[in-house]
Homo-oligomer: A and B are copies of this chain.
Amino acid sequence: MTRLQATYEIESPVGVARAAEVIAGEQSTGTFIRLASETDDLRARSAARVEAVEITGASDHPGLPCRLKADRYEQGRITLSWPVDTFGPSLPNILATVAGNLFELAEVSAIRLLSLEIPDSIAAACPGPQFGIAGTRALVGVETGPMIGTIVKPSVGLSAAETAALAGDLARAGIDFIKDDELQGNGPACPLEERARLVMQALDEAAQVTGRKVMYAFNITDEVTDMWRHLEMLEGLGATCAMVSLNSVGLAGLRAVRDRSPLPIHAHRNGWGLLSRSPHIGIAYPAMQKLWRLAGADHLHVNGLASKFTEPDDVVIEAAQAVQAPVSDSHDHAALPVFSSGQTAWQVGPSADALGNDDFLICAGGGIMSHPGGPAAGITSFRQAAAAQAQGVDVRTYAADHPELAAALDAFKGAVTRG
């Protein structure tokens, strides 16, 4: 693969094949009137190419509001490719190429970017995850099995001292990983530096007892130079993870963090629904996560099975698998999938089964904190569920002689049945 390749699902009032040509023109040499300077040679060298067109169906009404009207809106998949020489390995420019003006064309009444094929030359020139799965396991001190995490809740409103006290309790209860909420950045009500100082103190104290330092992902989301300052401060405190909100800092913001981060980057995708929930316009996670991994994300959120959000389970699993798959023919750049949102002991086994391995982090708020036996029992219930899955035993059978698991399955029944 020497060209960048993108596959889209589209619907068009002018037909899928014609729309493919229009998109290829718009996203490379295009202008609405062909100019004298636009020679055939130039087109051959620089133009996007339509690699494949597949017709899948048609609709009698447009998916999106569309200026061009038709009796029939043809549906299908198209694959376009671009020569790398136009943009080089610059991820922001690649994004402008595969996800730029094309979404606004009147020749499409629906368009979703489904997948990207990344040339090795681009993957080689990008940093990729610095820690990935193995590096994270080493820092967390968990060699096998899923890593169990939690989220500081309430999302906002706790003081730095209250947050630290909570983190210390969770560490003593045996958690592997804790993260700030994505709404908790560096506001005056709970400044990051004070929070980090007190939390790291609490975690270091707990480590004296447990022999293991919990990984805490501090939310450094902020302006670029502020994030760099936060990273330095965190390193000085012995912190082992930094979290960023991908959609808030942008692709260049993420890469700027990667360039100066001594810590794994825990990449939070809040706002992702905006880019993916509509069936008519958007980007599928398997496409977008490749750019985030190339830019350096170590951990990537993928929602959770039976979560409180509306994303179906098959999309969650497709996302988690994509995060572990090679980013290009010869470059892995694999990241750690992070399941979260409404997670309980119920979802541990099914997550591992669907993913086909246990190289993941599963984060739960209420599913741990609200366990009838308290947080330690909540964490134990997750580990017991993982053990059941690893041994191929049904979780309900395993619960018979594991009371923490039994209590969790009972308390969080709603988590899987979803009313």
Residue A223 contacts which of B83, B90, B102 (CB distance < 8 angstroms)?
A: B90
Within 8 A of B (CB), among A98-139: 99-106
Question: For the complex, is A174 an interface residue (Cβ under 8 Å from B)?
Answer: no
Query: Is there contact, CB below 8 Å, between A96 and B183?
Result: yes
Bound together, the chains give a CA A310 to CA B223 distance in angstroms of 33
Query: Is there contact, CB below 8 Å, between A225 and B256?
Result: yes
Query: Is there contact, CB below 8 Å, between A189 and B222?
Result: no
Bound together, the chains give a CA A109 to CA B89 distance in angstroms of 38
Partner-binding segment picked from A233-241, A271-279, A402-410: A271-279
A251 cross-chain contacts in B, Cβ below 8 A = 248-250, 253
A156 cross-chain contacts in B, Cβ below 8 A = 28-29, 46, 86
Question: A68-102: contact bitstring with B at CB < 8 Å (1 yes, 0 no)?
Answer: 10000000000000011111101111011101111
A28 cross-chain contacts in B, Cβ below 8 A = 155-157, 183
Partner-binding segment picked from A36-44, A53-61, A328-336: A36-44
Query: Is there contact, CB below 8 Å, between A66 and B253?
Result: no
Partner-binding segment picked from A318-326, A363-371, A386-394: A363-371
Q: Which of A85, A185, A247, A248 has the most CB of B within 10 A?
A: A248
Query: Is there contact, CB below 8 Å, between B100 and A66?
Result: no
A417–chain B nearest beta-carbon distance, Å: 13
Closest B residue by C-beta to A159? B42
Question: For the complex, is A252 an interface residue (Cβ under 8 Å from B)?
Answer: yes
Residue A101 contacts which of B106, B182, B221, B255 (CB distance < 8 angstroms)?
A: B182
- Once A221-B96, A271-B96, A279-B65 are accepted as A-B contacts, the answer to whether A342 and B86 lie under 8 Å apart by CB is no
Question: A178-189: contact bitstring with B at CB < 8 Å (1 yes, 0 no)?
Answer: 000011111111
Question: For the complex, is A413 an interface residue (Cβ under 8 Å from B)?
Answer: no
Bound together, the chains give a CA A222 to CA B158 distance in angstroms of 38
A295–chain B nearest beta-carbon distance, Å: 9
Query: Is there contact, CB below 8 Å, between A248 and B86?
Result: no
Residue A366 contacts which of B31, B188, B224, B277 (CB distance < 8 angstroms)?
A: B31
Query: Is there contact, CB below 8 Å, between A101 and B309?
Result: yes
Question: A194-233: contact bitstring with B at CB < 8 Å (1 yes, 0 no)?
Answer: 0000000000000000000000000001111111000000
Query: Is there contact, CB below 8 Å, between B37 and A96?
Result: no
Query: Is there contact, CB below 8 Å, between B248 and A93?
Result: yes
A residues neighboring B (CB under 8 Å): 27-33, 35, 37-38, 42-43, 45-47, 64-68, 83-88, 90-93, 95-97, 99-106, 151, 153-158, 162, 166, 182-189, 221-227, 245, 247-256, 259, 270-275, 277-283, 303, 308-312, 342, 365-366, 369-370, 418
Extra inter-chain contacts (16) besides given A33-B366, A33-B370, A96-B183, CB under 8 Å: A37-B153, A45-B189, A64-B278, A83-B189, A88-B186, A92-B223, A93-B187, A95-B245, A96-B185, A96-B245, A99-B247, A104-B310, A105-B310, A223-B252, A253-B256, A278-B280
7 CB-based A-B contacts, threshold 8 Å: A42-B158, A88-B186, A101-B273, A223-B252, A223-B255, A225-B256, A248-B251
List the 5 closest A-B pairs by CB distance, nearest first. A250-B250, A103-B273, A46-B157, A104-B273, A252-B253
